[in-house]
Structure 1
């Protein structure tokens, strides 16, 4: 049976309170106060669509002994590169085999669901990892600045013990430009909201849902969860009523806690729904944008046996409230900041060097000596153990998922950081291996010798002169569940 084998999600740690945005713009537009409730997920300065995609994919693949990934499909409307395969960076960070197929799906609000539908319809024995991630920018004092949120979702599709089987897959393509972003533009342009609601949402979505349910031979009354990935208030309830689905079956759109994550939002909502679902339930997933995608899925008994993962709920629980709206503007390059002399250096990345070291840099692969068992990063021809010194005995050893702890740390206020102080220190990995690393998503007062850590794929530096983003791994505080794992407890 072909269907969904696993799911994952990622939501950044920082959550900007909408009240802080409204308070900053109250002098200009008092109507923004209608959106002042709740908070929106906000990327740190070292996060983007690629780093979030990696984290969501890692969450999706966690706990699986064998993950049959033959194809990687990355959907986003905010990828950093226009003429480089962004999904190749994600594939390398996940240490997928070089014979994996990879494709970027851009310029579509329905990119994630369209990719998922194609994966579910795909050929036999092809495992597909569908990942969606968006970090969209919005004009200051716009409603979108309040309604947007940064996040990612991932779904693994293939044959085997599926946790959800497709009952119907419905796609409709209608060229209605409710909003758009032209080539070279930074933010989207929106048309009138009532027109979008009446000619778009109300006129197109209920009919597509009805067609999908007919195809699945499921009456509306048997739908257990309806996921409508729209940012407008009450839109999901209105669509449910028109489709004949009970209002209490409408899933939380996560508007108050995350915001709308654009292309990634359908997969984020699906991960949230699957994390709370029981076997045998019918889920309907809806995405809108130049048409409608509708997926009707039924969960299976295998869902209960899926290894535990953070999922949407777990990442949302790790949030930290942020009230500094200026920090949000700076992190999103919407406000020019005086960075000082220490930031004034050429960040040229020799592409040949990065290529030769891609497994070590993007994949975070070190080595273990086959003679004495010593672990080290980076991998080298000679073992670093002075009592060994074996030559040519190194075997690949991935470090990304290895528990680690703080061995020493520094909070540096002289070195440049977009979010001072710059925190870094020596990290000791379980089973051997240590290196000096940057810390991220950890406050200065949280740092302590022995603090349990997990690795996170992040932006290391950005070459503004050439538009090149350099990625590497950073250390961040482990979740309490991960702390137990690091201690060797269950």
Structure 2
């Protein structure tokens, strides 16, 4: 069975206290340095993921980001070159949505299942900017993660997945936009995030004959801790005992 062979991460050392943005706000968020962006952070996470492993065995690399520093250039090849991977591997960029990371993970799993790759590395990174005074200015943090997917020496098996797609204009950026745009926050979260993720998770459990009590932990990607708690409760999980705490107060929402 395919799964996660190794993992890596990179979080910038710089922090910005939310108190400096909005008095009374709690926690802080990770901020990329002046010489960092989503590409350099993805490289750092990839190198961390491959530490001590044979890089010649990696057959594919996928880079996921909504904030790539280039509008037109394949950056997965740059990551592969910086990580000293073979030149004959498959590379691809996945973008335009915070779902890009899980989409790249699904593509990697499918490639391994089809036999076109024995090991595939997925790296995701973001440096999203919120407009001054916006909710995104307080919530968005910078960071990167990488996963090596394979069928041998698997540490975490990926047993099943389910996707659900729903067209909605909740959060977006136009071609020349520097800052994230969004409809009214409650609409974006209720009709966007909460509705779609609830449908995907509940259907995945139903198709695999599982229910909330079968899980020790629920790990969610969420805009903030309140939304994660709300979603966990809606799915039938106990937020106090089953929901894995977010790193929102020390890193922010890293995409």
Q: Give TM-score scaled by structure 1 length.
A: 0.50
Aligned residues of 2:170 and 2:183 also touching (Cα < 8 A) = yes
- Cα distance in structure 2, aligned partners of 1:121 and 1:214: 22
Distance 2:182 2:165 in 1: 19
CA distance in 1, matches of 2:171, 2:193: 13
Shift of 1:128: 0.8
Report the CA distance shift for 1:218/1:68 in structure 2 as closer, same or farther (over 3 A): farther
Quote the residue 1:338 is aligned against: none
Query: 2:87 matched to 1:87?
Result: no
Higher strand share goes to which structure?
1
Report if aligned partners of 1:167, 1:216 keep a CA contact under 8 Å in 2. Answer: no
Structure-2 separation of matches of 1:84 and 1:244: 44
What residue in structure 1 maps to residue 244 of structure 2?
251
Mapped contact 1:6–1:163 kept (Cα < 8 A): yes
Q: Which residue of 2 aligns with 1:105?
A: 94
1:234-249 matches, within 5 Å, as 234-247=226-239, 248-249=241-242
Is the 1:54–1:93 Cα contact (8 Å) retained in structure 2? yes
1:39 corresponds in structure 2 to: 28
Q: Which has the higher contact order (CA 8 A, sep 6+)?
A: 2
1:78 maps to 2:67: yes
Query: Structure 1 residue runs of 4+, over 3 Å off?
Result: none
CA distance in 1, matches of 2:150, 2:172: 33
Alignment of 1:70-469 (within 5 A): 70-122=59-111, 123-124=114-115, 125-247=117-239, 248-262=241-255
Q: Are the aligned partners of 2:62 and 2:94 in contact in 1 as well (CA < 8 Å)?
A: yes
SS at match of 1:6: strand
In the alignment, structure 1 segments of 5+ residues that lack a partner are: 24-32, 263-490
* RMSD after superposition: 1.5
Tell me how far 1:219 sits from its aligned partner: 2.0
Q: Shift in Å at residue 65 of structure 1?
A: 4.2
What is the rounded CA distance, in whole Å, between the counterparts of 2:56 and 2:2 in structure 1? 14
TM-score of the superposed pair, with normalisation by structure 2: 0.93
Cα deviation per residue 1:141-183 (whole Å; 9 max; x = unaligned)? Answer: 2221110000001111112121111221111111111110001
Q: Name 1:19's counterpart in structure 2.
A: 19
Partner SS, residue 91 of structure 1: helix
- 1:376-411 per-residue CA deviation (whole Å, 9 max, x = no partner) reads xxxxxxxxxxxxxxxxxxxxxxxxxxxxxxxxxxxx
CA contact (8 A) 1:61 1:67 kept: no
Q: Residue deviations 1:305-333, cap 9 Å, x none?
A: xxxxxxxxxxxxxxxxxxxxxxxxxxxxx
Partner of 1:16, secondary structure, is strand
Q: Which runs of 5+ in 2 are unaligned?
A: none
* Structure 1 residue 66, shift from structure 2 partner: 5.4
Counterpart CA distance in 1 for 2:161 and 2:57 is 23
What is the distance in 2 between the residues matched to 1:216 and 1:121? 19
Kindly tell me: are residues 167 and 193 of structure 1, through their superposed partners in 2, closer, same or farther at Cα, counting changes over 3 Å?
same
Tell whether the 8 Å contact from 2:165 to 2:196 is kept in structure 1 after alignment.
no
